[in-house]
Structure 1
Amino acid sequence: MERFNWKPLLLACLMVSIGQLSLGLVFPSLPWIAQDLNVSADQAQLLVSVYLLGFGPSQLVYGPLSDVLGRRPVLLSGLLIALLGLILAVTHADSFSWLLAGRFIQGLGAGSVAVLARATLRDSYQNQNFVKAMTWVAIVAAFTPIVAPVIGGLVNHYWGWLTVFIILLAYIGLIWLVLLFAFTETLNQTNKPESVGKLVGSYFSLMRERHFLSFAGIGWINFSLVVISISLMPFIMQVQIGMSSEQYALWAMIPAFGMLSGGLLCQRIRPIFGTQKVLQIAPFLHLIAGIVLFFSPMTPQWISAGHFLLAMANGMAFPCAQSMLLIPYGSRAGTVSALSGACQMVFASLISGFLLRLGMSQAWHLGLVLLVAAGLGLILVRIGAKSESGKQAAAALN
C-alpha cells in the first residue's frame, strides 16, 4: 500500500483554517463594531458579506491560474493580498469604510486557500490516501467555523474587537512564513494558459457534466446545511430555550464532535464498504437528524442530538463527495476546485438567505429542510454513480 505522507495534509489543513477563521472569528464582534463605529447592525453585517463577495468569485481566478503557474506562487501571492487587506483594516479601524475595504481585499486573497488546499491534495495523493487526506481537511473545514465564534467571542470580551483582526493578521502572517519555507510545488506539469473565452467555456462545460453537478452538488447542499444550522442554532438555544451565551458556547461544541465522529467513522468503514457506499449513508443520517429535529421536544439534549447527527453526516459526505469529484480531473483539479468552491459559497449564501427571509426560526423548520436535503443527496449520489466518470472514480477509490 502507498505510504502516507502527512506533510501535504498538514499544510492543506493550515490553508483551509485561514478562510474559516477569517469568517467565524468576526461574527461575535459585529454588535460591538456597530456600537463603536456608530453604524447599524445591518451595516455591520456587511463585514461578512463583503468578505464572502471577495472570497467566493476570486476562486474562479485562482484555480485556473494555479493550473498554469503552479500552486506555490499563486497560493503565496493570494495570502499576501489577504495580509494587505488585514493591514488596511487594522491601521484604519476607526473608519468603517476602510474596514469594509480591508475585509473585501482580505476575502479576495483568502479565496486562494479554499481552491489550492483541495488541488494540492489531488496533486499529492492517489486513490485511498487521497480520500483519507480529504476526510481530515473536511473535518478541519467544518470544525473550524463551529469553534471560531466561541474563540472570537472570548477575544472580543476580554480584549476588544480590534484584537480579533490583529490575531487574524498574525495568524495568516505566521502561516505564510510556514508555507514559504515548507510548501513545495505539487503540480508536476502545468497547463498552457487559456484565453478568458476558453476559460469561461470550460466552466460552462463543467456545469453541463453529470459527474461534476452530482458530486459538487452534494458538497453545496452539505455546506448550505452547515451555514443554515450555524445561523439558526444560537437563536434556538439562547432565545427559545433560554441558554446564556456561556452555556451555549459549551453546547456548541457538540456538533463539532459530530463532525469529527463522522470523519473518523468514514476513515474506518470506507475501506470496507467503498467510497460510494459511504456517501449513500450520509443522506440517511440527515433523514434521522431531520426526524429528530422535526418531532423532538424543545430541550437542549434533543436539539443537540439532531445537530450532532447533521454534523456527523456532513463529516462523512464532504470528503467522499470531494474525492469522487476530483479523481477524474487530474491536472485540471485547480479549475474544478475553483468552480465547485465558488458555486458552493454562492449556493449556500442564496439558499440560507432565502430560507431565513422566509421566516425559518424553529427547530422543526431545520428538520424539514434536512428531510428535503436527504432526498436530494440520495438522488445526486445515484445520478453521479451512473455517470462514466463516477464509475471510474469509484473503481479508483475502492
Structure 2
Amino acid sequence: MAAFQWKPLLLACMIVSIGQLSLGLIFPSLPWIAQDLSLSTEQVQLLVSGYLLGFGTSQLVYGPLSDVFGRRPVLLSGLLIALFGLSLAILHAESFSWLLAGRVIQGMGAGSVAVMARATIRDSYQSHNLVRAMTWLAIVAALTPIVAPVIGGMVNHYAGWLAVFILLLGYIAVIWLVLCVNFPESLSVTCRAPSVITLMKDYSSLARSSHFLSFAGVGWVNFSLVVLSISLMPFIMQVQIGMTSEKYALWAMIPAFGLMCGGLLCQRIRPKIGTRRMLLIAPWLHLLAGMIYIFSPVEPAWMIGGNFVLAMANGIAFPCAQSLLLVPYGDKAGTVSALSGACQMVFASLFSNTLLKIGISQPWQLGGVMLLGAGIGFGLAFFGTQTESGRQAVATLNG
C-alpha cells in the first residue's frame, strides 16, 4: 500500500473549510440581523439560501474549467470573487438588498472550493487512501458548519453581527495568500476545453446515471438535513428556549464531537465490515435523530443530542458516498464533483427554504423530516450498491 501523503489532504481541508465556514458562521447572527434590519424569519433566511444558490450553481462552471485549465488558477480566481462579495456586503451592511447581493456573489465565488477540494483529493489518492482522505475531508467539511456557530455566536455576542462578516473576510484572505504560496497543481493532464453542447451532454449523461444519482443523492439528502437542522436550531435554542447567543455557541460545540465520532468510526470499522455496510449505518442514525426530535422534551440536552446523532450520520455517510461516487470518474473528477456539489447546494437551499416557508419551526416537525430522509437515504444507498458500477466501486475501495 502506498504511503499516505498528508499535504494534499491538509490543503484540501483548508479549501473546503471556506465554503462551510461561510455557511455556518452567520447562523447565530440571523435573529439579530432580523431585529436590526426589521426582517421576518423567512426574509433573513434568504442570507442562507441565497448563498447556497450561488455556491451550488457556480460549481457547474468551476468543475469543467478546472478539468481544462487546472485546479490552481480556477480556485484562486473563485476566492477573489468571494472576497469581492463579502466586501460588498460589509460596505453596505445597512441595506438588506446589498447584504443579500453580497452573499450571493460570495457564494458564487466560494463554489470553487467544494469542487477543488474533492477533485484535488481524487487527483492525489487511490483505493484505500482515497477513502481515508475523503473521511478526513468529510470531518472538516461537516465539522466546520457545526463548529462555526460556536465562533459566530461568540463574535456576535461581543462584537455584533457585522464583525462576523469581517472575520470571514479576513479568514478567506489569509487562506488565499497561503494557497498562492503552497497550493501546487494537482491535475497532471488537462483535457481540451469542451463546447457548451458537449458539456451539456456530459451533465445530461451523469444526470441519467443510476450510479451518479444514487451516491450523489446520499450526499444531497445528508447535507439538506444538516442545513435544515442548523438553520432551525438557533431559533429553537435562542427564541423558544431563551438562550443567549453566547450560551448557544457553547452548546453548539457538542455536535462537533458527533461528527468526529462518525468519522473515526468510519476509519476504524469500514475496513472490517466494508464500504457498503458502513454506508447503510447512516440512515439508521437519521431514524434515531428523528425519534429524538419527535418524542423528546424541548430542552437543550435533547435538542443538541439530536444534532449529535445527525452529525455522526453525516460523518459516516459523506466519505463512503463520495468515494463510491468518484471511483469510476478519475479523468472527470472536476465535472462530476461540480454537478454533484451544485445539485447538493441547490437542493439543500430549495429544500430548507421551502420547508421554512410552509411553517416548519418545531422540533417534532424537524423529526418527521428526519424520518423521511432516513427512508430516502437507505433506498439510495441500497440501490446504488446493487448496480454493476456500484459493486465494482465497492470492490475497488474494499480491495
For the superposition of Structure 1 and Structure 2, which TM-score range results when normalised by the shorter chain?
over 0.9
How many Å separate the matches in 1 of 2:83 and 2:9? 23
Match in the other structure for 1:124 = 124
Equivalent in the alignment of 1:383: 383
1:386 match: secondary structure: coil
SS of residue matched to 2:67 = helix
Q: Which residue of structure 2 aligns with residue 301 of structure 1?
A: 301
Stretches of structure 1 lacking an aligned partner (at least 5 in a row): none
Q: Which runs of 4+ in 1 moved over 6 A?
A: none
1:139 shift after superposition: 1.3
Structure 2 residue runs without a partner (length 5+): none
Q: TM-score, normalised by structure 1?
A: 0.93
Q: How does 1:250-289 map to 2 (within 5 A)?
A: 250-289=250-289
Aligned to 1:341: 341
Q: Tell me which residue corresponds to 1:227.
A: 227
Which residue does the alignment assign to 2:107? 107
1:238, distance to aligned residue in structure 2 (A):
3.6
Equivalent pairs, count = 397
CA separation of 1:268 and 1:281: change in aligned 2, threshold 3 A: same
CA distance in 2, matches of 1:24, 1:177: 23
CA drift at 1:278: 0.4
By how many angstroms is 1:269 displaced? 0.5
Mapped partners of 2:108, 2:345: distance in 1: 13
- Alpha-carbon deviation of 1:184? 0.7
* CA distance in 2 between partners of 1:33 and 1:288 (Å): 33
Q: Separation in 2 of the partners of 1:195 and 1:72?
A: 22
CA-atom RMSD in angstroms? 2.0
In terms of mean alpha carbon deviation, does 372-381 or 313-322 score higher?
A: 372-381
Other-structure match for 1:4: 4
Q: In the TM superposition, what is the alpha-carbon distance from 1:35 to its structure 2 partner?
A: 5.8
Deviations 1:125-170, CA, capped at 9 Å, x for gaps: 0111111111111111111112212212322332333322222222
Report the alpha carbon displacement of residue 355 of structure 1 after superposing the two structures with TM. Answer: 2.4
CA distance in 2, matches of 1:281, 1:30: 33
Is residue 154–residue 245 contact of structure 2 (8 Å, CA) maintained in 1? no
The alpha-carbon deviation at position 95 of structure 1 amounts to 4.9
Equivalent residue, structure 2, for 1:186: 186
Identity of aligned residues (%): 71
In the aligned structure 2, how far is the partner of 1:304 from the partner of 1:297?
12
Q: Following superposition of structure 1 onto structure 2, how do residues 349-360 of structure 1 map, counting pairs within 5 Å?
A: 349-360=349-360
Cα drift, residue 241 of structure 1: 3.9
Q: Is the 8 A contact 1:187 1:331 kept in 2?
A: no
What residue number does 2:394 align with?
394
Distance 1:177 1:245, change over 3 A: closer
Cα deviation per residue 1:189-223 (whole Å; 9 max; x = unaligned)?
Answer: 11111111111111111011000000000000000
Distance 1:369 1:396 in 2: 34
Q: 1:106 to 1:293 in 2, by over 3 A?
A: closer
TM-score by length of 2: 0.93
What amino acid sits opposite 1:318 in the alignment?
Answer: F
| Residue aligned with 2:118, SS | helix
CA distance in structure 1 between the aligned counterparts of 2:35 and 2:251, rounded to whole angstroms: 28
Deviation, structure 1 residue 310: 1.6
For residues 34 and 377 of structure 1, the distance between their equivalents in structure 2, rounded to whole angstroms, comes to 34
In 2, the alpha carbon distance for the partners of 1:282 and 1:263 equals 11
Cα pair distance change 1:91/1:349, threshold 3 Å:
closer
Q: Match for 2:48: what amino acid?
A: V
1:167 aligns with 2:130: no
